Amino acid sequence: MEFLYEYGLFLAKTITFVLAVIAILVAITATAIKQKHKKGELEITDLSEHFEEVEDDIIHSLLSKEQLKAKEKKDKKLAKEKAKAEKKALSDGKNDEQTSEDKKLFVLDFNGSIDAKEVSSLREEISALLMVANDNDEVFLRLESGGGMVHGYGLAASQLDRIRQNNIPLTISVDKVAASGGYMMACVADKIISAPFAILGSIGVIAQLPNFHKLLKKHDVDYEQFTAGEFKRTVTMFGENTEKGREKFIEELEETHVLFKNYVSERRPSLDVEKVATGEHWFGTTALELGLVDEIMTSDDYLVNANKTRKVVAIKYVMHKSLTEKLSKAVSLTLENTIGKLWQSNRIFPS
Protein backbone atom coordinates (compact mmCIF):
# COMPACT_ATOMS: atom_id res chain seq x y z
CA MET A 1 0.00 0.00 0.00
CA GLU A 2 2.82 2.38 0.86
CA PHE A 3 4.43 1.65 -2.51
CA LEU A 4 1.18 2.43 -4.33
CA TYR A 5 0.82 5.66 -2.34
CA GLU A 6 4.39 6.76 -3.20
CA TYR A 7 3.89 5.79 -6.84
CA GLY A 8 0.61 7.71 -7.06
CA LEU A 9 2.21 10.80 -5.50
CA PHE A 10 5.13 10.59 -7.95
CA LEU A 11 2.73 10.18 -10.88
CA ALA A 12 0.67 13.20 -9.77
CA LYS A 13 3.80 15.37 -9.48
CA THR A 14 4.99 14.24 -12.92
CA ILE A 15 1.64 14.99 -14.54
CA THR A 16 1.52 18.40 -12.83
CA PHE A 17 5.04 19.22 -14.07
CA VAL A 18 4.25 18.13 -17.64
CA LEU A 19 1.04 20.17 -17.68
CA ALA A 20 2.92 23.23 -16.36
CA VAL A 21 5.55 22.86 -19.12
CA ILE A 22 2.81 22.50 -21.77
CA ALA A 23 1.04 25.61 -20.43
CA ILE A 24 4.28 27.62 -20.61
CA LEU A 25 4.97 26.42 -24.18
CA VAL A 26 1.41 27.30 -25.23
CA ALA A 27 1.79 30.78 -23.72
CA ILE A 28 5.15 31.32 -25.46
CA THR A 29 3.72 30.11 -28.78
CA ALA A 30 0.68 32.36 -28.46
CA THR A 31 2.88 35.37 -27.67
CA ALA A 32 5.17 34.56 -30.63
CA ILE A 33 2.18 34.29 -32.99
CA LYS A 34 0.78 37.57 -31.68
CA GLN A 35 4.12 39.37 -32.08
CA LYS A 36 4.60 37.90 -35.55
CA HIS A 37 1.73 40.05 -36.78
CA LYS A 38 2.87 43.03 -34.71
CA LYS A 39 6.08 44.69 -35.87
CA GLY A 40 6.57 46.74 -32.72
CA GLU A 41 4.93 48.66 -29.91
CA LEU A 42 4.93 52.11 -28.34
CA GLU A 43 6.69 52.72 -25.05
CA ILE A 44 5.43 55.75 -23.10
CA THR A 45 7.64 57.10 -20.31
CA ASP A 46 6.52 59.81 -17.90
CA LEU A 47 9.73 61.86 -17.62
CA SER A 48 8.06 64.35 -15.27
CA GLU A 49 7.48 61.54 -12.80
CA HIS A 50 11.11 60.49 -13.22
CA PHE A 51 12.35 64.03 -12.50
CA GLU A 52 10.15 64.23 -9.41
CA GLU A 53 11.44 60.89 -8.11
CA VAL A 54 15.06 61.98 -8.57
CA GLU A 55 14.36 65.29 -6.81
CA ASP A 56 12.60 63.52 -3.93
CA ASP A 57 15.47 61.05 -3.52
CA ILE A 58 18.01 63.88 -3.28
CA ILE A 59 15.86 65.93 -0.89
CA HIS A 60 15.28 62.94 1.38
CA SER A 61 19.00 62.34 1.61
CA LEU A 62 19.72 65.97 2.50
CA LEU A 63 16.97 66.84 4.97
CA SER A 64 16.73 65.85 8.60
CA LYS A 65 13.73 63.91 10.00
CA GLU A 66 12.14 67.11 11.32
CA GLN A 67 12.63 68.88 8.01
CA LEU A 68 11.18 65.91 6.11
CA LYS A 69 8.07 65.90 8.31
CA ALA A 70 7.59 69.62 7.75
CA LYS A 71 8.02 69.16 3.99
CA GLU A 72 5.56 66.27 3.83
CA LYS A 73 3.01 68.33 5.76
CA LYS A 74 3.49 71.24 3.37
CA ASP A 75 3.22 68.98 0.30
CA LYS A 76 -0.04 67.47 1.57
CA LYS A 77 -1.47 70.94 2.12
CA LEU A 78 -0.50 72.04 -1.40
CA ALA A 79 -1.99 68.85 -2.88
CA LYS A 80 -5.31 69.51 -1.10
CA GLU A 81 -5.38 73.12 -2.29
CA LYS A 82 -4.65 72.02 -5.85
CA ALA A 83 -7.39 69.36 -5.79
CA LYS A 84 -9.82 71.90 -4.34
CA ALA A 85 -8.96 74.45 -7.05
CA GLU A 86 -9.42 71.86 -9.81
CA LYS A 87 -12.79 70.80 -8.36
CA LYS A 88 -13.93 74.44 -8.22
CA ALA A 89 -12.79 75.01 -11.82
CA LEU A 90 -14.86 72.03 -12.95
CA SER A 91 -17.95 73.22 -11.08
CA ASP A 92 -17.54 76.73 -12.55
CA GLY A 93 -17.35 75.29 -16.06
CA LYS A 94 -13.70 76.23 -16.56
CA ASN A 95 -12.57 72.72 -17.36
CA ASP A 96 -11.76 73.75 -20.93
CA GLU A 97 -8.86 75.89 -19.74
CA GLN A 98 -5.54 74.10 -19.93
CA THR A 99 -3.35 73.84 -16.84
CA SER A 100 0.38 73.22 -16.81
CA GLU A 101 -0.44 69.52 -16.37
CA ASP A 102 -2.50 69.58 -19.56
CA LYS A 103 0.22 71.20 -21.63
CA LYS A 104 2.60 68.46 -22.67
CA LEU A 105 6.08 68.19 -24.10
CA PHE A 106 6.44 65.05 -26.20
CA VAL A 107 10.04 63.83 -26.37
CA LEU A 108 11.35 61.80 -29.32
CA ASP A 109 14.82 60.44 -30.09
CA PHE A 110 16.47 59.92 -33.47
CA ASN A 111 19.94 58.38 -33.59
CA GLY A 112 20.40 58.05 -37.33
CA SER A 113 22.44 55.49 -39.29
CA ILE A 114 23.72 55.92 -42.85
CA ASP A 115 20.54 54.55 -44.44
CA ALA A 116 18.26 56.30 -41.90
CA LYS A 117 16.42 53.04 -41.21
CA GLU A 118 15.29 54.57 -37.88
CA VAL A 119 12.67 56.52 -39.85
CA SER A 120 10.43 53.42 -39.58
CA SER A 121 10.11 54.01 -35.83
CA LEU A 122 9.98 57.80 -36.20
CA ARG A 123 6.92 57.69 -38.46
CA GLU A 124 5.08 55.49 -35.93
CA GLU A 125 5.97 57.85 -33.06
CA ILE A 126 4.84 60.94 -34.96
CA SER A 127 1.60 59.28 -36.09
CA ALA A 128 0.86 58.38 -32.47
CA LEU A 129 1.54 61.82 -30.98
CA LEU A 130 -0.44 63.59 -33.71
CA MET A 131 -3.51 61.70 -32.49
CA VAL A 132 -3.34 63.41 -29.08
CA ALA A 133 -1.20 66.57 -29.39
CA ASN A 134 -2.49 70.05 -30.17
CA ASP A 135 -0.99 73.49 -30.76
CA ASN A 136 -0.69 74.09 -26.99
CA ASP A 137 1.73 71.18 -26.75
CA GLU A 138 5.28 70.89 -28.06
CA VAL A 139 7.44 68.18 -29.64
CA PHE A 140 11.07 67.92 -28.62
CA LEU A 141 13.42 65.78 -30.71
CA ARG A 142 16.87 64.75 -29.50
CA LEU A 143 18.73 64.34 -32.78
CA GLU A 144 22.06 62.67 -33.47
CA SER A 145 23.22 61.91 -36.98
CA GLY A 146 26.18 62.48 -39.25
CA GLY A 147 23.95 62.09 -42.32
CA GLY A 148 23.70 59.43 -44.97
CA MET A 149 21.51 58.50 -47.93
CA VAL A 150 19.50 61.34 -49.45
CA HIS A 151 16.20 59.49 -49.84
CA GLY A 152 16.32 58.11 -46.29
CA TYR A 153 16.96 61.46 -44.64
CA GLY A 154 14.57 63.18 -47.02
CA LEU A 155 11.80 60.93 -45.71
CA ALA A 156 12.88 61.53 -42.09
CA ALA A 157 12.71 65.30 -42.63
CA SER A 158 9.28 64.91 -44.27
CA GLN A 159 8.05 63.06 -41.18
CA LEU A 160 9.10 66.04 -39.03
CA ASP A 161 7.31 68.35 -41.47
CA ARG A 162 4.07 66.58 -40.50
CA ILE A 163 4.43 68.06 -37.00
CA ARG A 164 4.77 71.62 -38.30
CA GLN A 165 1.89 71.13 -40.74
CA ASN A 166 -0.30 70.41 -37.72
CA ASN A 167 0.80 73.72 -36.12
CA ILE A 168 2.53 71.96 -33.23
CA PRO A 169 5.76 73.70 -32.11
CA LEU A 170 8.84 71.59 -32.85
CA THR A 171 12.17 72.01 -31.07
CA ILE A 172 15.22 69.98 -32.06
CA SER A 173 18.23 69.49 -29.81
CA VAL A 174 21.71 68.53 -31.01
CA ASP A 175 24.03 67.35 -28.24
CA LYS A 176 26.67 65.72 -30.46
CA VAL A 177 26.18 65.92 -34.21
CA ALA A 178 23.58 66.86 -36.84
CA ALA A 179 25.44 67.13 -40.12
CA SER A 180 24.42 66.71 -43.76
CA GLY A 181 21.18 64.66 -43.67
CA GLY A 182 21.10 65.26 -39.93
CA TYR A 183 20.95 69.00 -40.50
CA MET A 184 18.33 68.48 -43.20
CA MET A 185 16.16 67.10 -40.41
CA ALA A 186 17.17 69.79 -37.89
CA CYS A 187 16.28 72.72 -40.14
CA VAL A 188 12.61 71.67 -40.09
CA ALA A 189 12.33 72.75 -36.44
CA ASP A 190 10.83 76.01 -35.23
CA LYS A 191 13.82 76.19 -32.89
CA ILE A 192 17.22 74.44 -32.90
CA ILE A 193 19.29 74.23 -29.73
CA SER A 194 22.82 72.91 -29.63
CA ALA A 195 25.52 71.95 -27.15
CA PRO A 196 28.63 74.19 -27.45
CA PHE A 197 30.79 71.50 -29.09
CA ALA A 198 28.11 69.77 -31.15
CA ILE A 199 28.88 69.49 -34.88
CA LEU A 200 26.42 71.06 -37.33
CA GLY A 201 26.18 71.94 -40.99
CA SER A 202 27.92 69.99 -43.75
CA ILE A 203 25.28 71.17 -46.21
CA GLY A 204 26.76 69.37 -49.17
CA VAL A 205 26.58 66.14 -51.17
CA ILE A 206 29.24 63.45 -51.50
CA ALA A 207 29.54 60.24 -53.52
CA GLN A 208 32.56 58.01 -53.97
CA LEU A 209 33.29 54.53 -55.26
CA PRO A 210 36.39 52.51 -56.18
CA ASN A 211 37.09 51.49 -59.76
CA PHE A 212 38.73 48.13 -60.49
CA HIS A 213 38.87 48.45 -64.28
CA LYS A 214 42.66 48.70 -64.52
CA LEU A 215 43.10 45.73 -62.17
CA LEU A 216 40.71 43.59 -64.22
CA LYS A 217 42.36 44.65 -67.47
CA LYS A 218 45.78 43.75 -66.08
CA HIS A 219 44.55 40.22 -65.41
CA ASP A 220 42.73 39.93 -68.75
CA VAL A 221 39.27 39.97 -67.17
CA ASP A 222 36.50 41.45 -69.29
CA TYR A 223 33.56 43.20 -67.64
CA GLU A 224 30.40 43.71 -69.66
CA GLN A 225 27.43 45.83 -68.64
CA PHE A 226 24.22 46.19 -70.63
CA THR A 227 21.81 49.11 -70.19
CA ALA A 228 18.88 50.69 -71.99
CA GLY A 229 19.05 54.45 -71.77
CA GLU A 230 22.15 56.58 -72.25
CA PHE A 231 22.53 57.49 -68.58
CA LYS A 232 21.05 54.41 -66.93
CA ARG A 233 24.51 53.95 -65.43
CA THR A 234 26.89 56.92 -65.38
CA VAL A 235 29.88 55.55 -63.43
CA THR A 236 30.70 51.97 -62.51
CA MET A 237 33.04 50.06 -60.22
CA PHE A 238 34.25 47.53 -62.80
CA GLY A 239 33.88 49.10 -66.22
CA GLU A 240 35.88 51.93 -67.80
CA ASN A 241 34.30 55.24 -66.80
CA THR A 242 33.92 57.84 -69.54
CA GLU A 243 34.30 61.59 -69.20
CA LYS A 244 30.70 62.02 -70.32
CA GLY A 245 29.53 59.63 -67.60
CA ARG A 246 31.53 61.48 -64.95
CA GLU A 247 30.09 64.84 -66.04
CA LYS A 248 26.54 63.49 -65.82
CA PHE A 249 27.22 62.03 -62.37
CA ILE A 250 28.58 65.37 -61.11
CA GLU A 251 25.57 67.12 -62.64
CA GLU A 252 23.27 64.85 -60.58
CA LEU A 253 25.24 65.64 -57.43
CA GLU A 254 24.93 69.38 -58.12
CA GLU A 255 21.19 69.00 -58.66
CA THR A 256 20.86 67.23 -55.29
CA HIS A 257 22.90 69.98 -53.63
CA VAL A 258 20.59 72.66 -55.05
CA LEU A 259 17.55 70.80 -53.71
CA PHE A 260 19.26 70.52 -50.30
CA LYS A 261 20.04 74.25 -50.22
CA ASN A 262 16.51 75.19 -51.24
CA TYR A 263 15.06 72.92 -48.57
CA VAL A 264 17.18 74.56 -45.86
CA SER A 265 16.48 78.06 -47.16
CA GLU A 266 12.70 77.55 -47.16
CA ARG A 267 12.73 76.44 -43.52
CA ARG A 268 15.31 78.93 -42.23
CA PRO A 269 14.79 81.99 -44.45
CA SER A 270 17.02 84.21 -42.29
CA LEU A 271 20.00 81.93 -42.92
CA ASP A 272 22.60 82.93 -45.53
CA VAL A 273 22.52 79.56 -47.27
CA GLU A 274 25.23 80.31 -49.84
CA LYS A 275 27.61 81.14 -47.00
CA VAL A 276 27.04 77.88 -45.12
CA ALA A 277 26.28 75.44 -47.97
CA THR A 278 29.94 74.79 -48.72
CA GLY A 279 30.02 71.30 -47.23
CA GLU A 280 31.81 72.59 -44.12
CA HIS A 281 30.72 71.81 -40.57
CA TRP A 282 30.95 73.98 -37.45
CA PHE A 283 30.84 73.62 -33.69
CA GLY A 284 27.74 74.82 -31.85
CA THR A 285 29.02 78.26 -30.82
CA THR A 286 30.09 79.11 -34.38
CA ALA A 287 26.88 77.61 -35.75
CA LEU A 288 24.96 80.06 -33.55
CA GLU A 289 26.87 83.01 -35.04
CA LEU A 290 26.13 81.74 -38.57
CA GLY A 291 22.42 81.25 -37.83
CA LEU A 292 22.43 77.46 -38.13
CA VAL A 293 21.08 77.16 -34.57
CA ASP A 294 19.06 79.45 -32.29
CA GLU A 295 20.45 78.82 -28.83
CA ILE A 296 23.32 77.11 -27.02
CA MET A 297 21.85 74.63 -24.55
CA THR A 298 21.92 70.88 -23.88
CA SER A 299 18.82 68.72 -24.13
CA ASP A 300 19.07 68.01 -20.39
CA ASP A 301 18.75 71.69 -19.46
CA TYR A 302 15.83 72.15 -21.83
CA LEU A 303 13.88 69.22 -20.41
CA VAL A 304 14.50 70.18 -16.78
CA ASN A 305 13.29 73.74 -17.45
CA ALA A 306 10.27 72.53 -19.44
CA ASN A 307 9.28 70.19 -16.62
CA LYS A 308 8.57 73.22 -14.41
CA THR A 309 5.69 74.38 -16.58
CA ARG A 310 4.38 71.28 -18.37
CA LYS A 311 4.18 67.50 -18.31
CA VAL A 312 7.09 65.81 -20.12
CA VAL A 313 6.38 62.50 -21.84
CA ALA A 314 8.78 60.39 -23.93
CA ILE A 315 7.44 58.32 -26.83
CA LYS A 316 9.45 55.49 -28.34
CA TYR A 317 8.41 52.89 -30.90
CA VAL A 318 10.31 49.67 -30.26
CA MET A 319 10.60 47.20 -33.13
CA HIS A 320 10.31 43.51 -32.22
CA LYS A 321 13.49 41.59 -33.02
CA SER A 322 13.91 37.90 -33.73
CA LEU A 323 16.15 35.72 -31.58
CA THR A 324 18.76 35.71 -34.37
CA GLU A 325 18.81 39.52 -34.50
CA LYS A 326 19.14 39.75 -30.71
CA LEU A 327 22.04 37.28 -30.67
CA SER A 328 23.86 38.99 -33.56
CA LYS A 329 23.48 42.38 -31.85
CA ALA A 330 24.80 40.94 -28.57
CA VAL A 331 27.83 39.48 -30.39
CA SER A 332 28.56 42.74 -32.23
CA LEU A 333 28.31 44.77 -28.99
CA THR A 334 30.63 42.31 -27.22
CA LEU A 335 33.19 42.58 -30.02
CA GLU A 336 32.88 46.37 -30.07
CA ASN A 337 33.41 46.62 -26.31
CA THR A 338 36.34 44.19 -26.40
CA ILE A 339 38.07 46.08 -29.22
CA GLY A 340 37.42 49.37 -27.42
CA LYS A 341 38.97 48.10 -24.20
CA LEU A 342 42.01 46.71 -26.04
CA TRP A 343 42.48 50.02 -27.84
CA GLN A 344 42.21 51.96 -24.59
CA SER A 345 44.66 49.67 -22.76
CA ASN A 346 47.24 49.98 -25.55
CA ARG A 347 47.07 53.75 -25.96
CA ILE A 348 50.32 55.66 -25.44
CA PHE A 349 49.82 58.76 -23.32
CA PRO A 350 52.27 61.69 -23.42
CA SER A 351 54.43 62.09 -20.33
**What are the residue numbers of the active site?**
180, 232
Q: Closest Cα to residue 196, out of 91, 102, 301?
A: 301
- Residue 221 DSSP code: -
Give CA–CA dist 124/138, Å, rounded: 17
Q: What angle do CA 144, 146, 147 make, to 5 degrees?
A: 110
**Cβ(249)–Cβ(234) below 8 Å:** yes
Nearest to 141 by CA among 93, 81, 189, 100: 189
CA 237 – CA 210 distance, rounded (Å): 6
Q: Exposure of 106 by Cβ count < 10 A (0-12 exposed, 13-18 middle, 19+ buried)?
A: buried
Q: Is the dihedral of CA 292, 293, 299, 300 positive or negative?
A: positive
DSSP 3-state assignment of 340?
Answer: helix
